[in-house]
């Protein structure tokens, strides 16, 4: 049996993999785990705008209460709001019900500890064991006053809004197009920007339960690019469904990814003397141009496995100030304990305002190498690392690129995909290499 937890919690198709029963057992398991150190653990729960969110929220909360934990329900709230508020309110743990950038039929459950950090693999493994015990009805069932209670505090989200606003000076004079992906920040995103004085044109901020991430947000930037040009805005901001990612569009309609945003913000921290060891933490997906530009600007970079949890682990281990992913997860450890798409947006806009420069000017610090990513949908991800045909195809591709680029093949942590990424000076060559390797993977692993 495969591991229940992926790179970002438990995630899958609702009512097929992620059922209310599973949510209930996860609630019992998590409350049992945290109840080992606290008599009556308190869980803070937030969710995005998916139609399944309320169902899973109720099932999860019931499971927590069934073993004697208390629950505080925020309702719709960005992931970084949970990470922030769980610390501020002294809760034992936090839970976010979201499948992030995935389409609406999927959902997910991810946990934070009382410090707002995602759980390490070892703790998730313990929760998974307890989840199995719950399904076997081997966990305690307290009665009378030992049963947990449910409380509601939607108003606490305003404290997160005020926190993000407090990290920046006024943004008056900036015209911003904000794309909320019909997700958890659809309300708070425009509110934060307006409180800071920006003129805001909000798009994709009308969630229906079934339109989250649908041709919107950080995974579908075409609409934002068009809106920025149409409105004559200085900048466009795109969050994903749970608002832990931020990508941006400059005044010319050009996209800035997480690498570029990290470079800008890292340099600003360096200029303020706040960049620990002059280090920015990226991942193996970070562009070669990111590493080269950072070095030229007097900074260092290092790379972790893909996943903001691994970036965070490295930052915590060595005390680094900023890190993130090309996909737009950026962690400002001096401010929050997880990727925060709203904080990232505000920090970048603040740099624009302070320096009096356009976003395209600021982005000119980095020259991006052409990079191509092909997602191969497969029947199984198991065994690709030792498959001779796949490894031969990768090696041949690397030999063709020589020292002018690289190939990275890795399985998705959340979907039945094997991702093939190539980077180098020639786009046509990258296209041929990625598709050639992808064809071999389809043959060897089965095409889904």
* Residues in the chain, total: 448
- Determine whether domain 166-363 maps to CATH 3.40.120.10: yes
- Distance, in Å, from the CA atom of 146 to the CA atom of 140, rounded to the nearest integer, reads 11
pLDDT at 361: 96
Q: What token pair was written down for 319?
A: 């005390």
What architecture is the 371-445 domain classified under in CATH? 2-Layer Sandwich (3.30)
pLDDT at 342: 98
pLDDT at 257: 97
Q: Is the dihedral of CA 199, 203, 209, 212 positive or negative?
A: negative
Residue 100 annotated in active site: yes
Sequence ranges of the domains in the chain = 10-157, 166-363, 371-445
- C-beta of residue 45 within 8 angstroms of C-beta of residue 111: no
What architecture is the 10-157 domain classified under in CATH? 3-Layer(aba) Sandwich (3.40)
How many other C-beta atoms are found inside a 10 Å radius of the C-beta of residue 125? 14
User: Does the fold of domain 371-445 match that of domain 10-157?
Assistant: no
Closest CA to 339 of 348, 329, 351, 347: 329
CA distance from start to end of the chain: 20
Q: What token pair was written down for 137?
A: 């009805």
Contacts of 395 (CB under 8 A, 6+ apart): none
Catalytic residue among 100, 134, 168, 337: 100
Q: In 295-342, at which residue ranges do the beta strands (DSSP E only) sit?
A: 300-304, 322-324, 330-332
- C-beta of residue 326 within 8 angstroms of C-beta of residue 286: yes
Find the DSSP H helices in 89-236.
Answer: 121-135, 157-166, 188-195, 222-231
- C-beta of residue 213 within 8 angstroms of C-beta of residue 181: yes
- Establish how many alpha carbons lie within 13 A of residue 36's alpha carbon, considering only the half-sphere containing its beta carbon: 11
0.85 exceeded by pTM:
yes
Find the DSSP H helices in 13-104.
Answer: 20-34, 53-66, 79-88
Which residues lie across from 185 on neighbouring strands?
none
- Distance set, CA 336 to CA 11, 84, 187, 340, 344 (Å): 24, 6, 20, 7, 11
Pairing of strands 199-203, 175-179: parallel
Q: What token pair was written down for 322?
A: 């900023």
Closest CA to 202 of 215, 187, 213, 184: 187
- Distance, in Å, from the CA atom of 11 to the CA atom of 47, rounded to the nearest integer, reads 13
- Distance set, CA 271 to CA 248, 266, 297, 302 (Å): 22, 9, 11, 20
pLDDT at 44: 98
- Distance, in Å, from the CA atom of 70 to the CA atom of 44, rounded to the nearest integer, reads 9
Q: Which contiguous run of DSSP H or E holds residue 290?
A: helix 288-296
Most distant CA pair in the chain: distance in Å?
Answer: 70
pLDDT at 417: 94
- How would you label 173-195 residue by residue, b for 16+ Cβ within 10 Å and e otherwise? ebebbbbbbbbbbbbbbbbbbbe
Q: Which contiguous run of DSSP H or E holds residue 197?
A: none
- Distance, in Å, from the CA atom of 234 to the CA atom of 248, rounded to the nearest integer, reads 11
Average pLDDT per run of 10 along the chain, which is 448 residues long?
Answer: 83 97 98 96 98 98 98 98 98 98 97 95 96 96 97 98 98 98 98 98 98 97 98 98 98 97 98 97 93 96 92 96 96 96 98 97 92 93 95 94 88 88 91 95 92
Q: Is 144 left (phi over 0), alpha (psi -120 to 50) or beta?
A: left
pLDDT at 306: 87
- Distance set, CA 140 to CA 64, 65, 71, 235 (Å): 12, 12, 18, 54
């Amino acid at each position: 049996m495969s591991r229940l937890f992926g790179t970002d919690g438990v995630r899958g198709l609702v009512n097929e993999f992620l059922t209310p029963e599973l949510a209930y057992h996860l609630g019992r398991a998590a409350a049992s785990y945290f109840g080992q150190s606290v008599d009556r653990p308190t869980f803070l729960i937030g969710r995005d705008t998916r139609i399944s969110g309320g169902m899973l929220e109720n099932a999860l909360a019931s499971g927590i209460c069934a073993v004697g934990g208390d629950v505080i329900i925020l309702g719709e709230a960005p992931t970084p709001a949970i990470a922030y508020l769980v610390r501020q309110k002294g809760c034992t743990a936090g839970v976010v019900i979201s499948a992030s950038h995935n389409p609406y039929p999927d959902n997910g459950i991810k946990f934070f500890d009382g410090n707002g950090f995602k759980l390490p693999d070892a703790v998730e493994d313990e929760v998974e064991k307890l989840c199995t015990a719950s399904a076997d009805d081997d966990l305690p069932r307290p009665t009378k006053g030992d049963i947990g209670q449910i409380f509601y505090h939607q108003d606490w989200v305003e404290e997160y809004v005020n926190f993000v606003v407090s990290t920046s000076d006024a943004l008056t004079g900036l015209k911003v197009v904000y794309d909320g992906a019909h997700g958890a920040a659809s309300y708070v995103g425009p509110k934060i920007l307006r409180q800071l004085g920006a003129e805001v044109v909000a798009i994709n901020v009308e969630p229906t339960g079934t339109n989250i991430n649908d041709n919107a947000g950080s995974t579908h930037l075409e609409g934002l690019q068009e809106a920025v040009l149409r409105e004559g805005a200085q900048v466009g901001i795109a969050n994903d469904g749970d608002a832990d990612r931020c990508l941006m569009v400059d005044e010319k309609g050009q996209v800035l990814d997480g690498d570029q945003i990290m470079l800008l913000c890292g340099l600003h921290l360096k200029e303020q003397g706040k960049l620990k060891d002059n280090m920015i933490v990226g991942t193996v997906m970070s562009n070669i141009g990111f590493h080269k530009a950072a070095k030229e600007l007097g900074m260092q970079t290092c790379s972790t496995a893909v996943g903001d949890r691994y970036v965070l682990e490295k930052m915590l281990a060595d005390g680094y100030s900023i890190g993130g992913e090309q996909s737009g997860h950026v962690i400002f450890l001096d401010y929050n304990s997880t990727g925060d798409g709203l904080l990232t947006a505000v920090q970048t806009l603040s740099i624009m305002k302070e320096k009096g420069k356009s976003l395209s000017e600021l982005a000119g610090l980095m020259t991006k190498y052409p990079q191509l990513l092909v997602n191969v949908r497969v029947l199984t991800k198991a065994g690709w690392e030792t498959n001779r045909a796949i490894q031969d195809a990768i090696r041949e591709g690397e030999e063709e690129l020589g020292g002018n680029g690289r190939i990275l093949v890795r399985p998705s942590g959340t979907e039945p995909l094997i991702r093939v990424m190539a980077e180098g000076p020639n786009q046509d060559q990258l296209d041929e290499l990625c598709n050639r390797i992808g064809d071999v993977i389809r043959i060897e692993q089965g095409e889904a």
